[in-house]
A and B are shown apart, each in its own frame.
Chain A
Amino acid sequence: EVQLVESGGGLVQPGGSLRLSCAASGFTFSSCSMNWVRQTPGRGLEWVSYISSSSSNIYYADSVKGRFTISRDNAKNSLFLQMDSLRAEDTAVYYCARRPIIALGIPFDYWGQGTVVTVSS
């Protein structure tokens, strides 16, 4: 069974940092590209970042570029999001999501349960 479990969320002051983790199991993690997606309470989905299976291709949303860093450890089946210079508008539920190998496009077929990040003084 495919499982994605996020951790690392919490309350942080503006300007602070957090490191989110996503533990993957039930599939060949090293073969799949991964993403972070966030959702502000009561609002829609916002894609945050993408990393290819070998970490050779990485993309960020403009809203986080230069402040967030995505990475992965294929040996440990783990995905990370280092979030620096956090702002109030980064407050959201953060999901990790898998892109399936079979897809031609970039769908997200499995999602974690989400971890809550709150940026407030």
Chain B
Amino acid sequence: QSVLTQPPSVSAAPGQTVTIPCSGSDSNIGNNYVSWYRQLPGTAPKLLIYDNNKRPSGIPDRFSGSRSGTSATLGITGLQTGDEADYYCGTWDTRLSVYVFGTGTKVTV
């Protein structure tokens, strides 16, 4: 059972904005950097956001990340049909000494 909680699904129309929350605790999100990943069916996950709010090269600025207290949020603006995928948050848990992923959120456009 994951220690990071995400809503199972979110949906919005093309061109709109969605936000995906990731809820944790002091031992993980509260004191460690958060990453976000997108996974299309049948493919490996892809890094979208790292260190809470940084985008790797090639990731458009439609994707943004933030962290406040023990929660993190991924934002996607200008939704496209190609954004339909599963999204996961992830971070290190200092108390457990393990890396933890969120439960995953399916985005429907």
> Which residues of A are found within 8 Å of B44, using beta-carbon distances?
95, 111-114
Q: Which of the four size classes fits the interface of chain B? A: 20 to 34
> Which residues of B are found within 8 Å of A50, using beta-carbon distances?
99
> Which residues of B are found within 8 Å of A60, using beta-carbon distances?
98
State which of B33, B39, B97, B101 has its C-beta within 8 Å of the C-beta of A105: B33
Interface pair A105/B104, CB less than 8 Å apart: no
Interface pair B98/A105, CB less than 8 Å apart: no
Interface pair B50/A47, CB less than 8 Å apart: no
Interface set, chain B 60-103, CB cutoff 8 A to A: 86, 88, 90-92, 96-103
Q: Is A88 an interface residue (CB 8 A)?
A: no
| Complex Cα–Cα for A46 and B2 (A) | 9
Q: Which of the four size classes fits the interface of chain A? A: 20 to 34
| Complex Cα–Cα for A104 and B33 (A) | 7
| Complex Cα–Cα for A90 and B104 (A) | 20
State which of B50, B96, B100, B102 has its C-beta within 8 Å of the C-beta of A103: B50
| Complex Cα–Cα for A35 and B90 (A) | 13
| Complex Cα–Cα for A8 and B108 (A) | 35
State which of A44, A100, A112 has its C-beta within 8 Å of the C-beta of B101: A44
Residues of B within 8 A of A (CB): 2, 32-35, 37, 39, 44-47, 50-52, 56, 86, 88, 90-92, 96-104
Please, could you name 15 A-B residue pairs with CB atoms under 8 Å apart, sorted by A? Answer: A44-B101, A45-B90, A45-B104, A59-B97, A61-B98, A95-B45, A104-B51, A105-B50, A105-B91, A106-B33, A106-B92, A107-B50, A108-B90, A111-B44, A112-B44
Beyond A62-B98, A105-B33, A111-B46, 9 additional contacts (C-beta under 8 Å) are A44-B88, A44-B104, A45-B45, A50-B99, A105-B92, A107-B33, A107-B50, A108-B37, A111-B45
